[in-house]
Amino acid sequence: MAKKASSRLEWRINVPDGTSKVLEPESGAVGKIWVGLKGCMGIIVLKVWRVLENAWHIGVADPRKVIHCIKVGLALSIVSLFYYMRPLYDDFGGNAMWAVMTVVVVFEYTVGATFYKCINRVIATFLAGALGVGIHLVAEQSGDQLKPIILGISVFLFASAATFSRFIPSVKARFDYGAMIFILTFSLVSVSGYRVVELFELAHQRLSTIAIGTSLCILVTMLFCPVWAGCELHHLIHQNMEKLADSLDGCVTEYFKENGSEKDLNKKMQGYKCVLNSKAAEESMANFARWEPTHGRFNFRHPWKQYLKIGASLRNCAYCIETLNSCISSEIQAPPCLRKHFSNKCMKASSYSINVLKELVITIVKMKKSSNIDVKVAEMNFAVEELVGALKSLPTTHFIATTTGEESTKAKAEGVEGSEHPSPIMKVLPLVKVVSMMVEIATRIGGVVNAVEELARLAEFKAAKDGKPKQNQPTDKLVADH
Amino acid sequence: MAKKASSRLEWRINVPDGTSKVLEPESGAVGKIWVGLKGCMGIIVLKVWRVLENAWHIGVADPRKVIHCIKVGLALSIVSLFYYMRPLYDDFGGNAMWAVMTVVVVFEYTVGATFYKCINRVIATFLAGALGVGIHLVAEQSGDQLKPIILGISVFLFASAATFSRFIPSVKARFDYGAMIFILTFSLVSVSGYRVVELFELAHQRLSTIAIGTSLCILVTMLFCPVWAGCELHHLIHQNMEKLADSLDGCVTEYFKENGSEKDLNKKMQGYKCVLNSKAAEESMANFARWEPTHGRFNFRHPWKQYLKIGASLRNCAYCIETLNSCISSEIQAPPCLRKHFSNKCMKASSYSINVLKELVITIVKMKKSSNIDVKVAEMNFAVEELVGALKSLPTTHFIATTTGEESTKAKAEGVEGSEHPSPIMKVLPLVKVVSMMVEIATRIGGVVNAVEELARLAEFKAAKDGKPKQNQPTDKLVADH
């Protein structure tokens, strides 16, 4: 009996007066159901709690999301006001609902996305409405029997064609929502049993309510803390660049560290993973950004597509850093003395590569041409060449040493990795991998530099003031002329 | 004058009787506008033509997309029929429009996406409707003055909360559309000026029309050539695996080829790029797949999430193949004699790796546990070890040879790469890179094998009939027992 009791779950309450009370489970089926229900409730409460906790973290991490929610609430409340003010309601009647609907489906997080949906919705509604009225006119001419057939066939044809257009990538990128609204409006108009005169009235009401809804959305989204898709893309690109620089720094430091503070480094090293996975976000933002009007430092025709190219070149680098990372975490490592030999040169090459990336970050953040990017690229290339040079000179210093046995006795004295007598090439292999990855990364950073320079050309970045912009060229020319 | 005429555009028509006729541009402003208009028209026609050509290629490449469009047209035509049959229209009046609207917004390419939207729409409409009616009841109790305030505040609060929930990843993945429909319905109900009795009528009508729309969509999408998101995901994963195998094959063949048919290989080699970019597609398909009922060989609770893990491990491989690819296209290459030395071993390792991938493809396609995957993995590992062994033994055969000058005279005799006297390590460097990438790829293929085996366990794949399934384990056990 004691055993049975102990295997039961006890619900104990500590009452404030110091005594404690055991809640005895109710006996029989009712009790079991009660316990089961309590369990279920517990799980549900726990899940809801986790979601809430998650939501809290999201809100704290990016307060603009909270602001967006308030903006949606605000826009809906304002559009509701139209209803409570009777005159408008009496004008539009039940169709005033379209204004609410427009606000709900059109209001998006970024200004660009809202514009995209608004413009698509207005144009598609207008086009489909006009076409629908036209076909109604034709159908009415052809008698009562043919009318449903003509209408049915036209709905079938136009809906199929518009649906297919959504599969074409160029249409999908710009007019996906418009195609859907086109089908919707066209079907509604064709199907409505009204006569053409009533139809004009309906079309007028629908267009006006949609106009009210869209203009309200655009006002609210642009006036209260606007989130511009273009700015977000701009921010994402230079943030990714910084993350890449940090990852590279983290990887190389981790590899050549003597005794490390691992936790900080590990977090830093994982930054490249964001870069690997940001393609979809970049593309959707670039799509929305081109709908945005001139804002801040960005014109209407800012070359957003070039950002995608920079993103692609960054991902190219990230692939290499991923491989570099796997070199670092591999079990077989080069002997410490060899690592020390390369440590300086590798750190130098990586720090110059990071300098180039950081300079590019500054170029993008300030939107000004860098005056000394060429110098930094040259420094990086020089450091990489030095590194390759060190690798070239390795055989004379180490291979021969190894084959004559010096190295192995040294390793034995240190008590590391010497016991297995790995062949000399296996000893340098991990280092060779790291070095060759460093070289490859530097090459790919060159690709990023080109992409950013192309952006500077397309977006007509101004030259930075602090440097001496392009003084070399005229001098060279002068020299050449004389 | 002659000069001026020659600088003009000429429109010449070849008339069938052999004479040709120059179309003289009309003089003055009208002529210029006409030419300008013709130019504009030409550009527009060209653009439309290109879009149509593009559409044609898309249709030919995947006829199911054309079928989808026909299905959408069909569903809309059927729902229109309800209108022409007066009884239904008289029942629902203007609200019958909701059925059309439901079909337009809910009908998606895959069955899973359609289910997701249907279920979300129905549940969200029901919940929001019930909540809206409840709040209407409360608001009505508190008098005419307070009513709009209570309704306004409730719209603001619920809309903001629902909008925020769309930022939570777990909610976004499953209930994004539901949250939007919730806001929509709740606002519409709150805002409608009806009394509660009328509201019940409205709610009933809206729910029935939505039920008609959704059930029609589900019927059409499932009965006519259904496209299952689950099947698509399954297909995508094993297709990507094949592409990876082909890329690996292409890369290694390209590297060690003596004189190659490049065009075919190049296309084959680029397959890994699809793998790199398929993350978003995989995730959305996995999201939709879990809404699908049992179909074909897939249960309702098929472990779709595991497919994402397989996808991730495939991408892991693809990163390495990307690096391997860049090794191959780099300018500095190992001398031919060295390449020949490694050619066999490398080809062997790659072909065994490809065998493993192909076996995994068969496992996934047939959904049966492979009986000899262990053997193939062992073969791959053995081949890789051999390759590493060859690398280990390299210094004694080549480094020493180089330092004593044998190799350089040989290279001179061949007339290749010998002129620059590259240091020995630089000669082997490209090969070392390729070999180490091969080793890394084999390791990562091991990760794919684990992910696929986990899938086989979770989805309870049956053992293949042709092999001798798991005969080793019992034998081992017997040996251990005795």
Please list every residue in chain B whose beta carbon sits closer than 8 Å to the beta carbon of residue A55: 164-165, 167-168
* A212/A219 Cα distance (integer angstroms): 11
| Buried residues in B10-36 as b, exposed as e (16+ CB within 10 A) | eeeeeeeeeeeeeeeeeeeeeeeeeee
* B60/B65 Cα distance (integer angstroms): 9
Q: Work out the minimum CA distance from A291 to partner chain B, whole angstroms.
A: 21
Instruction: Indicate whether A277 and A350 sit together in one domain.
Output: yes
**DSSP for residue B332:** -
Q: Which domain, by its residues, includes B54?
A: 46-223
Instruction: Indicate whether B283 and B299 sit together in one domain.
Output: yes
Residue B159, in any domain of the structure:
yes
Which of A283-292, A330-339, B140-149, B203-212 is predicted with the least confidence, judged by mean pLDDT? A330-339
- Residue predicted with more confidence, B471 or A345: A345
pLDDT at A429 exceeding the cut of 80: no
Instruction: Give whole-number Cα distances, A138 to A133, A145, B296, in Å.
Output: 9, 13, 47
Chain CA centroid to CA B267, Å? 19
Query: Are the C-beta atoms of residues A247 and A268 closer than 8 Å to each other?
Result: yes
B191 and A151 within 8 Å at the Cβ level: the answer is no
pLDDT at B118 exceeding the cut of 90: yes
* Nearest C-alpha neighbor of B154 from the set A393, A80, A209: A80
Site of tokens 């490390």 = A260
- Tell me what the mean pLDDT of segment B75-96 comes to: 71
Q: Work out the minimum CA distance from A104 to partner chain B, whole angstroms.
A: 6
The CATH number that applies at residue A312 is 1.20.58
Smallest Cβ–Cβ distance between B68 and the set A97, A163, A165 belongs to A163
* Nearest C-alpha neighbor of B205 from the set B189, B182, B187: B189
Q: What is the pLDDT of residue A207?
A: 84
Instruction: Indicate whether B180 and B100 sit together in one domain.
Output: yes
pTM exceeds 0.90 for this model: no
Contacts by B199-205, CB closer than 8 A, 24 or more apart: B199/B132, B199/B133, B199/B136, B200/B133, B202/B95, B203/B129, B203/B133, B205/B92, B205/B93, B205/B95, B205/B98
Residue B27, in any domain of the structure:
no
Q: Work out the minimum CA distance from B361 to partner chain A, whole angstroms.
A: 25
Residue B471, in any domain of the structure:
no
pLDDT at B355 exceeding the cut of 50: yes
Contacts by B384-388, CB closer than 8 A, 24 or more apart: B384/B349, B384/B352, B384/B353, B384/B438, B384/B439, B384/B442, B386/B345, B386/B348, B386/B349, B387/B342, B387/B345, B387/B346, B387/B348, B387/B349, B387/B435, B387/B438, B387/B439, B388/A426, B388/B435, B388/B439
pLDDT at A451 exceeding the cut of 70: yes
Percentage of residues in chain B having pLDDT higher than 90: 26
Q: What is the pLDDT of residue A338?
A: 74
State the pLDDT confidence band at A400, using cuts at 50, 70 and 90.
very low
Q: Work out the minimum CA distance from B113 to partner chain A, whole angstroms.
A: 15
Q: Work out the minimum CA distance from B355 to partner chain A, whole angstroms.
A: 23
Which of A256-270, B52-66, B264-278 is predicted with the least confidence, judged by mean pLDDT? A256-270
Please determine, for the modelled complex, whether the ipTM score is greater than 0.90.
Answer: no
Query: Are the C-beta atoms of residues B107 and B221 closer than 8 Å to each other?
Result: yes
- Stated as kind and residue range, the H or E segment containing A264 is helix A262-269
* Nearest C-alpha neighbor of B327 from the set B346, B345, B341: B346
* A5/A24 Cα distance (integer angstroms): 10
Q: What is the pLDDT of residue B88?
A: 59
Highest-scoring range by mean pLDDT, A380-394, A443-457, B467-481: A443-457
CB pairs under 8 A between A and B: 221
Q: Work out the minimum CA distance from A231 to partner chain B, whole angstroms.
A: 19
Is beta strand B11-14 parallel, antiparallel or unpaired with respect to B20-23? antiparallel
Smallest Cβ–Cβ distance between B156 and the set A55, A73, A151 belongs to A73
Sign of CA dihedral B105, B111, B116, B119: positive
B423 and A183 within 8 Å at the Cβ level: the answer is no
| Buried residues in B420-431 as b, exposed as e (16+ CB within 10 A) | eebbbbbbbbbb
- Adjacent-strand bridge partners of B12: B22
Work out the end-to-end distance of chain A between its first and last CA atoms, rounded to an integer number of angstroms: 111
Instruction: Indicate whether A306 and A429 sit together in one domain.
Output: yes
Neighbours of B219 (CB within 10 A): 12
Least CA distance to B322: which residue of chain A? A319
- Tell me what the mean pLDDT of segment B197-209 comes to: 80
* A233/A310 Cα distance (integer angstroms): 11
Please list every residue in chain B whose beta carbon sits closer than 8 Å to the beta carbon of residue A391: 425-426, 429
Least CA distance to A400: which residue of chain B? B400
Instruction: Indicate whether A212 and A299 sit together in one domain.
Output: no
Percentage of residues in chain B having pLDDT higher than 70: 78
Instruction: Indicate whether B211 and B280 sit together in one domain.
Output: no
* A118/B393 Cα distance (integer angstroms): 69
Residue B83, in any domain of the structure:
yes
Tally of domains in chain B: 2
Please list every residue in chain B whose beta carbon sits closer than 8 Å to the beta carbon of residue A437: 323
Instruction: Indicate whether B218 and B303 sit together in one domain.
Output: no
User: Among A159, A192, A223, which residue terminates a domain?
Assistant: A223
Site of tokens 């039920």 = B211
Which of A135-149, B37-51, B368-382 is predicted with the least confidence, judged by mean pLDDT? A135-149
Residue A478, in any domain of the structure:
no
Smallest Cβ–Cβ distance between B426 and the set A104, A192, A392 belongs to A392
A155 and B73 within 8 Å at the Cβ level: the answer is yes
Instruction: Indicate whether B297 and B437 sit together in one domain.
Output: yes
Q: Work out the minimum CA distance from A189 to partner chain B, whole angstroms.
A: 10
- Residue predicted with more confidence, A391 or A68: A68
B168 and A58 within 8 Å at the Cβ level: the answer is yes
Which residues 6+ apart lie within 8 Å of A373 measured at CB? Answer: A356, A359, A360, A363, A449, A453
Q: Work out the minimum CA distance from B440 to partner chain A, whole angstroms.
A: 8
Instruction: Indicate whether B280 and B183 sit together in one domain.
Output: no
Least CA distance to A103: which residue of chain B? B184
State the pLDDT confidence band at A417, using cuts at 50, 70 and 90.
very low
Smallest Cβ–Cβ distance between B320 and the set A323, A400, A428 belongs to A323
Smallest Cβ–Cβ distance between B425 and the set A165, A280, A392 belongs to A392
Interval B21-44: pLDDT, tens: 554 555 678 888 899 899 999 999
Please list every residue in chain B whose beta carbon sits closer than 8 Å to the beta carbon of residue A276: 319
Query: Are the C-beta atoms of residues A467 and A374 closer than 8 Å to each other?
Result: no
Interval A75-122: pLDDT, tens: 988 888 777 766 655 666 666 778 888 899 899 999 999 999 999 999
Please list every residue in chain A whose beta carbon sits closer than 8 Å to the beta carbon of residue B321: none
Residue B178, in any domain of the structure:
yes
State the pLDDT confidence band at A258, using cuts at 50, 70 and 90.
low
Contacts by B265-272, CB closer than 8 A, 24 or more apart: B269/B325, B271/B242, B271/B243, B271/B244, B271/B246, B271/B247, B272/B243, B272/B244, B272/B247, B272/B318, B272/B321, B272/B322, B272/B325
Which of A278-287, A366-375, B345-354, B408-417 is predicted with the least confidence, judged by mean pLDDT? B408-417
Instruction: Indicate whether B80 and B214 sit together in one domain.
Output: yes
Q: Work out the minimum CA distance from B61 to partner chain A, whole angstroms.
A: 12
Please list every residue in chain B whose beta carbon sits closer than 8 Å to the beta carbon of residue A277: 279
Residue A31, in any domain of the structure:
no
Instruction: Indicate whether B200 and B335 sit together in one domain.
Output: no
Instruction: Give whole-number Cα distances, A140 to A135, A145, A154, A202, B76, in Å.
Output: 8, 10, 14, 17, 21
Smallest Cβ–Cβ distance between A69 and the set B69, B160, B426 belongs to B160
* B453/B370 Cα distance (integer angstroms): 9
Task: List, in sequence order, the alpha helices (H) in B302-423.
Answer: 304-329, 336-366, 373-392, 394, 400-403, 406-414
Instruction: Indicate whether A332 and A446 sit together in one domain.
Output: yes
pLDDT at B234 exceeding the cut of 50: yes
As a whole number, the mean pLDDT across chain A is: 79
State the pLDDT confidence band at B89, using cuts at 50, 70 and 90.
low
* A109/A281 Cα distance (integer angstroms): 13
* A207/A210 Cα distance (integer angstroms): 5
Query: Are the C-beta atoms of residues A432 and B425 closer than 8 Å to each other?
Result: yes
A152 and B192 within 8 Å at the Cβ level: the answer is no
Please list every residue in chain A whose beta carbon sits closer than 8 Å to the beta carbon of residue B97: 188, 191-192
Residue A165, in any domain of the structure:
yes
- Residue predicted with more confidence, B179 or A337: B179
Least CA distance to A182: which residue of chain B? B104
pLDDT at A172 exceeding the cut of 80: yes
Please list every residue in chain A whose beta carbon sits closer than 8 Å to the beta carbon of residue B104: 159, 180, 183-184, 187
Query: Are the C-beta atoms of residues A190 and A154 closer than 8 Å to each other?
Result: yes
B191 and A80 within 8 Å at the Cβ level: the answer is yes
State the pLDDT confidence band at A259, using cuts at 50, 70 and 90.
low
